[in-house]
Structure 1
Amino acid sequence: MNDLEVRQLRYFVAVAEELHFGRAAARLGMAQPPLSRTIRDIERQLGVALFERTTRQVKLTAAGEVLLRDARTALEAVTAAAHRARQAGSASPRLRVALKADVDGGLLPQVLDTYGADDASLPPELVLGGFGEQPQALRDGLADVGLVLCPFDSRGLDSEPLLTEPVLVALAAADPLAARTRLCLDDLADRKLPGGSPAGHGRPVEHTPQPGATRPASNLSEIFSLVETGSIVFFAPASVAQRYPRPGISYRPVCDLPDATLAVAWPQDARSPAVAAFVRAACTVAAAQHAQVEPLVQSTTT
């Protein structure tokens, strides 16, 4: 049996994720007949059926489910290998740090200073992304180390927790709930988060747009503007609330909202001294800042 090609795996994953040959072909920018032939070729190579096809639907078989899981991992590894090779071959390779802007527990400036003091190489390159995008950037080889909010998809990654802090709700100062010193998720049942989900579901970093929702706010400035008008509420780690006091916004604790834990994460197979130096710097700074979390929370809620 010949080994499967990367092209075949990409075609299979597209069909497996879309469960529709027409949509998968459009996603791949190709006609449907050659895509169907490729899937049949893969099934002949493996000697198993990967899909159950009827006139109404396409479903994965048990073998298809297994191949989908492993094909995703294989494609991620191929993509990461190309990105890492390109990075290593650049004239001046720099450590790439994946993060969401303003979601660093207030630690990033000190971490960069500490890392720079221990490492004489070029300053790190910051790879900015949206909420939850950092783990995939690490798996894809687009970044070498990242600051992530827990829980996250840890496949293929190692991590070390840095800082755990309460998550507060940002409300319009004129909102009746702002008159209370502490809230519960049930109190927020009729409020919406930036992605359109009910705030009462308690997803601290939920920014995925819901069906029928308008485009979610893309940055903190937009989010805070919407909060001030009473259009949405926003769950923010205490460090973000402390960094962004605004007259039109009140921050309040939510008694049954889980704390936010910031972690530093890196690929399990990383052997870079620069990655190790950054992780050491992050852990050192986080340990020094740990005692300041409680006073910070008190200052943001008074």
Structure 2
Amino acid sequence: METRELRYFVAVAEELHFGRAAERLGIAQPPLSRAIRQLERRLGAPLLERTSRSVGLTEAGVVLLRESRTALDAVDAAERRTRRAALAPTGDPGVVLATKAGASNGLLSKLLDVYAAEPGAVSVEVVLCGIGEQEQLLRDGRADVALLHRPFDGTAGFDTEDLGSESQLLVLPAGHPLTGRTDLRMADVAALTAPPMARWPRTDGSYPDGPGPQVREHSQLLQLIALGRAAALLPESVRSHLGEDLVSVPVIDAPTVTTVIAWPPQSRSTAVAGLVRTATRL
């Protein structure tokens, strides 16, 4: 299969409309339809269920969509990393590390300091991401390694090492009735209606249903909580970043959050390997 065919199929599978997919790709609809039919013949399986009014995915189409995204991410990643290596002034492109802004600050600072003192250490560019963005940067080659947080971030398809786990807190505006409690349970969190729980994007970019505000940035989230517009369940390490207008209460039965360092399994970078070794040692 050609990458061009995969890009054509992904556009149709995501739009579920040949006209919109053709417009998105910047091509006419007839050659797009022919390309999809040719792909189906080559694979020996229907990928789309077509009617006069709708387009849907078959079971084979669902599998190819998932695999196509992975394959195209790998192609894009190879191109980006090759270009970065070619443009590096010293011939060494260094390492790009993606992490969520405001998360794992203590670990990140220590990791960078200790790694910089290692023999053969290269430069590390830190990319601070919005909520959930570091996973995609790692998949498409804009980052070489990332700090992710299970269960919030997806780690499927990556090699990972666990770096530590922590409990969770409910962060509320100061003066909220629940801030007088010594601890809470998930049932208390589920029953909370004012302020509503903030919503952040899933890995596909969509948001879960609910009345709470949609957030993408850690600083945005904390400001909304301070204004009494949102509440959030966050890792215990966030406590050191809370101002006087925010209060945290432990949620004793909340699932633990595990920080992991992740990298693509096909990586052969000795610099990435060195950074991972330093992180696991810490």
**TM-score bucket of the superposed structures, by smaller chain:** 0.7 to 0.9
2: CA distance, partners of 1:44 / 1:220: 48
Partner of 1:192: 196
Partner of 1:108: 108
Superposed, which structure 2 residues align to 1:59-208 within 5 Å? 59-90=56-87, 91-92=89-90, 93-104=93-104, 106-151=106-151, 152-188=153-189, 189=191, 190=193, 191-195=195-199
Q: In the TM superposition, what is the alpha-carbon distance from 1:89 to its structure 2 partner?
A: 1.6
State the percentage of identical aligned residues.
Answer: 46
Partner secondary structure for residue 118 of structure 1: coil
Q: Deviations over 1:77-132 (max 9, x none)?
A: 21111012112222241111011112125211110011000044443001222222
Q: In the TM superposition, what is the alpha-carbon distance from 1:20 to its structure 2 partner?
A: 2.0
Matched AA of 1:87: R
2: CA distance, partners of 1:133 / 1:79: 16
Partner of 2:5: 8
Task: Check the 8 A contact 1:209/1:215 in 2, yes or no.
Answer: no
2: CA distance, partners of 1:142 / 1:43: 32
Task: Check the 8 A contact 1:97/1:125 in 2, yes or no.
Answer: yes
Task: Check the 8 A contact 1:105/1:163 in 2, yes or no.
Answer: no
Task: Check the 8 A contact 1:169/1:252 in 2, yes or no.
Answer: yes
1: CA distance, partners of 2:105 / 2:2: 43
Instruction: Using the TM superposition, name which of 266-275 and 158-167 deviates more.
Output: 266-275
Matched AA of 1:80: A
Q: In the TM superposition, what is the alpha-carbon distance from 1:213 to its structure 2 partner?
A: 6.7
Partner secondary structure for residue 107 of structure 1: helix
The aligned length equals 274
Q: Residue 261 and residue 211 in structure 1: after superposition, are their counterparts in 2 closer, same or farther (change >3 A)? A: closer
Matched AA of 2:53: R
Q: Deviations over 1:209-237 (max 9, x none)?
A: 45697973443332222112211002221
Instruction: Using the TM superposition, name which of 221-230 and 209-218 deviates more.
Output: 209-218
Q: Deviations over 1:24-75 (max 9, x none)?
A: 2333344433322322232244343221111232122233233223322221
Partner of 1:274: 271
Instruction: Using the TM superposition, name which of 150-159 and 260-269 deviates more.
Output: 150-159
The counterpart of 1:239, out of the listed 237, 240, 245, is 237
2: CA distance, partners of 1:23 / 1:225: 38
Q: TM-score, normalised by structure 1?
A: 0.81
Mark the runs of 5 or more structure 2 residues left unpaired by the alignment: none
Task: Check the 8 A contact 2:131/2:218 in 1, yes or no.
Answer: no
Mark the runs of 5 or more structure 1 residues left unpaired by the alignment: 198-202, 286-302
**Are residues 1:56 and 2:35 paired?**
no
Q: In the TM superposition, what is the alpha-carbon distance from 1:250 to its structure 2 partner?
A: 0.8
Q: Residue 18 and residue 215 in structure 1: after superposition, are their counterparts in 2 closer, same or farther (change >3 A)? A: farther
**Are residues 1:221 and 2:208 paired?**
no
Instruction: Using the TM superposition, name which of 263-272 and 179-188 deviates more.
Output: 179-188
Matched AA of 1:138: L
Partner secondary structure for residue 46 of structure 2: coil
Q: CA RMSD in A?
A: 2.6
Partner secondary structure for residue 178 of structure 2: helix
